[in-house]
Structure 1
Amino acid sequence: MITRRSLFAGGASLGISAALGVTPVRAAARPVPLSDPFQLGVASGEPTQDGVVLWTRLAMNPIAADGFGGMPDRAVDVHWQLAKDENFRQIVRQGTEPASRESAHSVHVELEGLTAGAEYFYRFKAGSELSEVGRTLTSPAPGIRTRPLNLSFTSCADYQAGWFTPYRRMAEDQPDLIAFLGDYIYEYGDYKYPVRDQAGGECLDLAGYRLRHAQHKADPESRLAHAIAPWVVVWDDHDIENAWAGDVPEQPDPPFLKRRAEAFQAYYENMPLRRAQKPDGAALKLHRSIRWGDVANLHLLDTRQYRDLYACTGKSGTVGPDCLERFEPNRTLLGRDQEAWLDQRLKTSEATWDLLGQQVFFMEMDWANGEGKGYSNEGWDGYVASRNRLTAAIDTYKRNAVVLTGDVHSHWAGEVKRDHQDPESKSVAVELVTTSVTSAGNGLDEYPNTQILMNENPHVKFFNGRRGYVRTRIDQREMKVEFRSLSRVTEPYAPAYTSGSFVIEPGSPKLNPA
């Protein structure tokens, strides 16, 4: 019998032992001998009030050098089922999708017509082999404010840097929704002293990106987290190449737009995204909104594809107060079309909360210790006018905005000013920055310069330098926030603890101690 407990049992196999027990919609075109093709697990994502995306990708050898996962050079029929119960006695949908070699044998089942605010269970079958069971949810219908959102979010999962225990701890919470805010993979080649050995060298082509994604998905902790709740994802730089900005790479070789197109293709193949996010060469429209009744809108932003080049130096890094280019009024981090889209979303929002899921530090941050000033031109400090247009919209439309951020491999929280250049400027939003899953190793709760930075940036209220994730519970009355940290990721199975907790109330963009 498959139960919810079995989702947490048995490592990579995750407790799957039963057959489908029903007649598939149609038989496979011909018998396909497969051996454990579900090593990358299952996932769901992009919930709406009546639908969700179900995902899997077949791979019998996840670390095959050609990126095809050891699969045969032909399409494979994949049968799927969706049920109200984890024992699949109340099946509500089933069907068959072809997994083609052209898409690395990935499957995206885009469902509609489901019940709003409901829990479902799903599974796949290929040949005689079964996948594990996944749990997913649809969002509450518009107008519903009584159903809270239990949202967890994290970022930056470097396979070589440690064990993915934060994924397991996040799954144990059984959230309603998981948001991943960039750097799902790292494109780097091998470290000199890795915690874990990754397959393949630097990701430079489609085969390399497919292989890197497959090794991440095959990790048992990753499989557990993907199976427990629907995911929504956005990329950052390492999903393609370190510090890329628009059409400009950090390094000029190989030809960047070709590399970007192949990275985009692998990203789509390996994420539970909709057809609307299918790439067109080197372009992929990733910004979109997820609605959770009238409690929250989650606006997912792309801060890489449309940005202007880094201010003053052309390269990502720290710049001083003499870098006036970062204040130029026409500079944009989101691109004009995405800025206009987000402005309209905020203007017409009817939710209690508007959450902005994005990748790089939003509030102003002086990173220089003591005398002098130092600002990151990679984050929003390099695009001051772009940030001011967004904070003005939040203020004008009177939105309860919370910025959810990844990238910096440590937990932070602070208050966003309408204009950080004005000492008297009021707070208009709160920013919650999640640490990484593994990137930068174990870290510390506090670093020698932590208090210096906090004192020099009084709008910043919290820091923790361990790995982990952020857990929230959001309803119409408040947003509860817990920063979850692990003492180590260089060894597996560390427990998670709450390193900081806050409450945010509608109409008051402040961090209140819980």
Structure 2
Amino acid sequence: MTPVHHRDDHSAELRAAAAHLGRRRFLTGTAAAAALAFSVNLPTAGVAGAAELDGRKIDEDPFTLGVASGDPRPDSVLLWTRLAPRPYEPGSGLPANRVSVRWELAHDARFTKIVKHGNADAHPEFDHSVHVDVPGLAAGRVYYFRFRAGNWISPVGRTRTAPARTAKPGSLKFAAVSCQAYHDGYFTAYGHLAKEDLDVVFHLGDYLYEYAVSAVGGSRNYTDIQLPAHFNRETTTLEDYRLRYGLYKSDADLRAAHAAHPFVVTWDDHETENNYAGDIPENDVPPEEFLLRRASAYRAYWENQPLRAPQRPQGADMRLYRRLEFGRLAQFDILDTRQYRSDQAYGDGWQTPGPESEDPSRTLTGGAQERWLLDGWKKSAATWNVVPQQVTFSQRRNLTTPDFKLSMDSWDGYSASRQRLLKGVEAAGVKNFMVLTGDVHTAYAYDIKKDWNNAASRTLGTEIVATSISSGKDGAERPSNWETFMTANPHMKFYNGRRGYVTVSLSAARARADFKTVTAVTTPGAPITTAASFVTETGHPGLTPA
């Protein structure tokens, strides 16, 4: 993408872009220029950034990637689609023109009772994505939505607003999902998820993977189609990431899940690059090169997710942490544990904990996000305080002996950062604390302990870890380290290595978590079963079998 300069001497603009990034490292002019390119090459508010294309001239279905909604509030919801007649091609089969798209929101799936409608521009600068923030809606009710471009009509989506902020809903049911590697198998679990009766779905990261996808779709082993060669490389450029979202969202089960439920999304690492930490890449590449890659990944992420304007990236930064309230029943504090973290201790991986990993100056959230979270708990009036985030929160020893190791990419590698949050839970008087986690491709259920080294210490909350949708291929009900992990971590109440998702039902009296798994993802159509169910009573943290 070519930077747009409005005058020959643009050093002030470069300095402003670099200052905005707030990097721990000194940015070269190249990095600042890259950030500037991503911030100025946007359509001007209220002004057409490109000539308009008459939608009637689109001669192929532009709604191949379906529809989605997200971040429900009591009076609004975000509607999303992206025009892509040919999602496997650069440019998705459309010229670099804006397209006017009509949207409709109704009380019924047949659209006989339309309550809101309007027009939005699909800009080529945003890869013809559409984000419509619909205000003035009734709290706690179901709506249906669709889009029109020319003579084409999108699939119908179903969404739901949150309850009023002062309401006390009797129940709330949500799902947690994570980690959907296209090349590892089919998104079968999403087909089952689409049939669930849910209020909202939380996606906890790794929506896509940067790794190459072969012509046969990796473990999908297609025999009737052949994917283009440009998928068979790691994503590094804006075009790469855009194409990869086109590939992933072409999956029918994923589209069905998005059409059925509003999603609340947050990323982990693979949306950009494996195990990056803030501005530090996994591999030894120049910082400006990685920041340009991060800017590309963040830009494509926003374009392809149901996110509001405040989440739109600015250069290589994107404010993704945010708070949603579901009446007085639940407050959800959605975290970003990737963008602001300190580098992994001891070179990453599983390591013996020590002074470096336990350094009080280390952070997984960054200072601003940590303060925001702690302040939010102090002000919360909700029965349940739930934290959807990415990496394992509870201590997870890999051996039963004193020479155990811990994962430096998880909260175990940032123990002081974790301890500050647990002190905040106690200081705020949070009685019903729940952490939702993805990342590890297994389902776990934990009691969150005040002292991880004392099984008899006070339980402060619960952690529910959703397994992957497909990452890790078929998996096993009991992985080879099952007995070791269960013995080494007495606060671990459940461990399952199959693919699937978890649903959580909240009420004023208790929470119930149902871990749901499929037998295989390397072949399509596997049935789903409930592998285990647990409950935790309000005011009495700790998990017991249902």
Instruction: Using structure 2 for the length normalisation, give the TM-score.
Output: 0.86
| Mapped partners of 1:146, 1:268: distance in 2 | 31
Give the 5 Å matches for 1:79-478: 79-190=102-213, 194-196=218-220, 199=228, 200=231, 201-253=233-285, 255-313=289-347, 316-321=348-353, 323-368=354-399, 370=401, 372-399=403-430, 400-421=432-453, 424-478=456-510
1:47 aligned to 2:72? yes
Q: Which residue of 1 aligns with 2:88?
A: 63
| Mapped partners of 1:252, 1:479: distance in 2 | 45
Aligned-partner residue type, residue 344 of structure 1: D
The change in CA–CA distance for 1:312 and 1:253 in structure 2 (over 3 A counts) is closer
- Indicate the SS of the match to 2:96: coil
In the TM superposition, residue 193 of structure 1 has moved relative to its aligned partner by: 8.7
| Mapped partners of 2:401, 2:499: distance in 1 | 27
In the TM superposition, residue 145 of structure 1 has moved relative to its aligned partner by: 1.6
Paired residues in the alignment total 483
Check whether the contact 2:187–2:470 (CA below 8 A) recurs between aligned residues: yes
CA RMSD of superposed structures (Å): 1.6
Kindly provide the CA deviation profile for residues 8-61 of structure 1, in whole angstroms up to 9, marking residues without a partner as x: xxxxxxxxxxxxxxxxxxx98574323110000000001000000000000011
In the TM superposition, residue 396 of structure 1 has moved relative to its aligned partner by: 2.0
Aligned-partner residue type, residue 252 of structure 2: P
- Indicate the SS of the match to 2:159: strand
- Equivalent of 1:487, from 519, 543, 546? 519
Q: Which residue of 2 aligns with 1:5?
A: none
The change in CA–CA distance for 1:210 and 1:30 in structure 2 (over 3 A counts) is closer
The change in CA–CA distance for 1:215 and 1:468 in structure 2 (over 3 A counts) is same
| Mapped partners of 1:492, 1:298: distance in 2 | 33
The change in CA–CA distance for 1:30 and 1:490 in structure 2 (over 3 A counts) is closer
- Indicate the SS of the match to 1:326: coil
Aligned-partner residue type, residue 411 of structure 1: A
In the TM superposition, residue 91 of structure 1 has moved relative to its aligned partner by: 0.3
| Mapped partners of 2:65, 2:184: distance in 1 | 20
In the TM superposition, residue 196 of structure 1 has moved relative to its aligned partner by: 2.8
In the TM superposition, residue 212 of structure 1 has moved relative to its aligned partner by: 0.5
| Mapped partners of 2:307, 2:540: distance in 1 | 34
Aligned-partner residue type, residue 544 of structure 2: N
Kindly provide the CA deviation profile for residues 478-501 of structure 1, in whole angstroms up to 9, marking residues without a partner as x: 111100000101111111101110
In the TM superposition, residue 447 of structure 1 has moved relative to its aligned partner by: 2.1
Aligned-partner residue type, residue 469 of structure 1: Y
- Indicate the SS of the match to 2:542: strand
| Mapped partners of 1:174, 1:106: distance in 2 | 28
Aligned-partner residue type, residue 159 of structure 2: T
Aligned-partner residue type, residue 304 of structure 1: R
| Mapped partners of 2:217, 2:115: distance in 1 | 50
- Of all paired residues, the percent bearing the same amino acid is 43
In the TM superposition, residue 371 of structure 1 has moved relative to its aligned partner by: 5.8
- Equivalent of 2:59, from 19, 25, 34? 34
Kindly provide the CA deviation profile for residues 92-145 of structure 1, in whole angstroms up to 9, marking residues without a partner as x: 011111101110000000011100001000000101011000000000001222
Aligned-partner residue type, residue 62 of structure 2: P
Aligned-partner residue type, residue 274 of structure 1: R
- Indicate the SS of the match to 2:498: strand
The change in CA–CA distance for 1:463 and 1:105 in structure 2 (over 3 A counts) is same
| Mapped partners of 1:49, 1:73: distance in 2 | 36
Check whether the contact 1:34–1:127 (CA below 8 A) recurs between aligned residues: no
Instruction: Using structure 1 for the length normalisation, give the TM-score.
Output: 0.91
In the TM superposition, residue 252 of structure 1 has moved relative to its aligned partner by: 3.2
Kindly provide the CA deviation profile for residues 416-446 of structure 1, in whole angstroms up to 9, marking residues without a partner as x: 1123245653110100001000000001100
- Indicate the SS of the match to 1:312: helix
Structure 1 unaligned blocks of 5 or more:
1-26
The change in CA–CA distance for 1:231 and 1:69 in structure 2 (over 3 A counts) is same
